């Protein structure tokens, strides 16, 4: 395998991982925005544990 090809494949995999992480993060942020209404007991549990 050519070194350049290996580097290109590595960069491609790295980029895919970054995209996946970014998608997950944005998904979590969207879920977090609606969380207080949907998961009120969970928020109360966190507050009570402090």
Q: How would DSSP label each residue in the chain?
A: --HHHHHHHHHHHHHHHHHHHHHHHHHHHHHHHHHHHH-HHHHHHHHHH-
pLDDT at position 30, please?
Answer: 81
pLDDT at position 28, please?
Answer: 83
pLDDT digits (tens), the chain, 50 positions: 799 999 999 999 999 999 999 999 888 888 777 555 554 555 555 556 55
Distance CA 13, CA 33 (A): 30
pLDDT at position 9, please?
Answer: 95
pLDDT at position 38, please?
Answer: 53
User: Which residues touch 35 (CB under 8 Å, ≥6 apart)?
Assistant: 42, 43
Residue spans of the domains in the chain: they are 3-49
| Tokens of residue 17, six digits | 């991982």
CB 2 within 8 A of CB 9: no
């Amino acid at each position: 395998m050519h070194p350049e090809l290996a580097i290109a494949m590595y960069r491609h995999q790295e980029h895919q991982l970054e995209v996946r992480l970014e998608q997950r993060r944005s998904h979590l942020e969207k879920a977090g925005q609606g969380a207080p209404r949907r998961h009120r007991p969970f928020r109360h549990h966190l507050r009570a544990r402090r």
